């Protein structure tokens, strides 16, 4: 088994470990009394150990589900663990967890065939709500973590443009490792209970923490503001939200990096939820593409010029309809050489192209 230092991507390491775990458990299932059972169980134990280091930084399958699988394996329930590992691995590879809830229960009645993303049309996958993860930084116990997650999930509404799952880490160092490991993280909520150091001790992690510089001089009351500043250095595209019990006067004059809002002595989960979605929406905004989609819906008379006729000369042709079938109707409905109907001029941008250029230049 390759060591963690052999990988340049935590995502690839994670995928390889889950795939290897699935294969080893499958071998034991096929030959439960074979000569290699003891060696395979030792290898599976090492795979669980290596995954335990990184799984805490992802929302799916979650540390609770991962620990449950590990306990089941230690108690000899190999068939149940193999079933769950297959389900998790398939969801990770296909990205199914981004589109729907994956039940990690053998009695859920959710057949394997239902998990196959190949049954979804490309349009269904493309039009599903974008998924991201929110990292909450706070040292809490298991009960408090469940309370935080349930309150965040309770704020979801059908009209929300995005879907997100919270992942909780206890320390400033864990937050830095998590945001570098996990590309799904798009927002970070910094709460007042975080500590400085991570309990994970691996030499390879110093490579990630070295990007943050010397942190030994930080005072405990400054852990939250300092993390907001470090986020601006490490992943400046992220949004940070600081929950603090300090006074407004103490926080007002501080450099908070990419912090979009400070919550003073309150647990307003709805306001936090709306701010998280608003922050991601600001980065997700595509002025020209949005204008192009609206332009493609406008009715237009039939003209000879292709940009204005919306491809009618092709769709009504007896000879080249295969061209329209190959490219699809949208490429003609949204022909971009037009500058009318809410579109813009590339030579003299003043509308959506100018707005898109300003956003790209940030």
CB 19 within 8 Å of CB 89: yes
Backbone angles phi, psi at 238, to 5 degrees: -80, 160
Q: What is the CATH number of domain 129-284?
A: 3.40.50.2300
Per-residue pLDDT tens over the stretch 231-284 = 998 899 999 999 988 888 778 778 888 899 989 877 789 999 999 999 999 999
Q: What is the dihedral of CA 92, 93, 98, 101, to 10 degrees?
A: -60
CA distances from 132 to 183, 186, 238 (A): 9, 6, 12
- Strand order from edge to edge, sheet including 259-264: 163-169, 131-137, 185-190, 239-244, 259-264
CB 206 within 8 Å of CB 233: no
Per-residue pLDDT tens over the stretch 304-353 = 444 555 667 777 777 888 888 888 877 777 665 566 667 777 778 888 88
DSSP H/E element including 169: strand 163-169
DSSP H/E element including 240: strand 239-244
Instruction: Say what the pLDDT of residue 95 is.
Output: 87
Instruction: Say what the pLDDT of residue 336 is.
Output: 55
Instruction: Say what the pLDDT of residue 303 is.
Output: 46
Instruction: Say what the pLDDT of residue 302 is.
Output: 46
CA 326, CA 315: separation in Å to the nearest integer? 12
Instruction: Say what the pLDDT of residue 144 is.
Output: 93
CA 281, CA 342: separation in Å to the nearest integer? 21
Segments making up each domain of the chain, as ranges: 4-117, 129-284, 287-360
> DSSP assignment of 120-167, as one string?
S-HHHHHTSPPEEEEEEE----HHHHHHHHHHHHHT--TT-S-EEEEE
Cis bond before residue 288 (omega within 30° of 0): no
CA 273, CA 281: separation in Å to the nearest integer? 12
CA 172, CA 174: separation in Å to the nearest integer? 5
pLDDT along the chain (362 residues), means of 10: 62 90 90 82 92 92 93 90 93 88 72 54 72 95 93 92 95 91 94 87 63 69 89 92 85 84 85 95 88 74 51 77 81 64 76 84 76
Q: DSSP code of 260?
A: E
Global pTM value: 0.82
Query: What SS3 class is residue 336?
Result: coil
């Amino acid at each position: 088994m390759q060591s963690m230092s052999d990988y340049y991507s935590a995502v690839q390491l994670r995928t390889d470990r889950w795939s290897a775990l699935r294969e080893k458990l499958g071998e034991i299932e096929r030959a439960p009394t074979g000569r290699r059972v003891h060696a395979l169980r030792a290898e599976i134990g090492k795979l669980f150990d290596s995954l335990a280091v990184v799984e805490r930084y992802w929302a799916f399958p979650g540390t609770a589900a991962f620990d449950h699988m590990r306990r089941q394996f230690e108690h000899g329930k190999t068939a149940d663990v193999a079933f769950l590992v297959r389900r998790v691995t398939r969801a990770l590879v296909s990205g199914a967890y981004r589109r729907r809830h994956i039940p990690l229960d053998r009695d859920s009645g959710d057949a394997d065939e239902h998990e196959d993303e190949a049954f979804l049309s490309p349009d269904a996958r493309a039009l599903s709500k974008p998924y991201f993860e929110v990292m909450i930084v706070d040292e809490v116990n298991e009960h408090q973590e469940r309370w935080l997650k349930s309150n965040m999930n309770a704020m979801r509404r059908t009209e929300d443009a995005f879907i997100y799952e919270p992942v909780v880490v206890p320390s400033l160092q864990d937050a830095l490792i998590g945001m570098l490991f996990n590309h799904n993280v798009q927002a970070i909520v910094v709460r007042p209970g975080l500590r400085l150091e991570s309990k994970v001790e691996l030499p390879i992690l110093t490579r990630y923490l070295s990007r943050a510089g010397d942190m030994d001089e930080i005072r405990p009351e400054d852990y939250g503001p300092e993390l907001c500043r470090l986020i601006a250095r490490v992943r400046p595209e992220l949004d940070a939200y600081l929950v603090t019990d300090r006074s407004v006067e103490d926080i007002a004059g501080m450099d908070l990096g990419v912090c979009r809002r400070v919550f003073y002595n309150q647990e307003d989960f709805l306001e936090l939820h709306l701010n998280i979605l608003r922050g991601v929406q600001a980065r997700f905004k595509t002025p020209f593409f949005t204008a192009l989609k609206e332009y493609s819906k406008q009715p237009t008379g039939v003209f000879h010029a292709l940009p204005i006729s919306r491809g009618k000369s092709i769709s009504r042709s007896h000879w080249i309809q295969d061209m329209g079938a190959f490219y699809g109707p949208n490429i003609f409905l949204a022909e971009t050489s037009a500058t009318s109907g809410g579109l813009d001029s590339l030579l003299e941008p003043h509308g959506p192209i100018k707005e898109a250029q300003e956003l790209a230049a940030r």
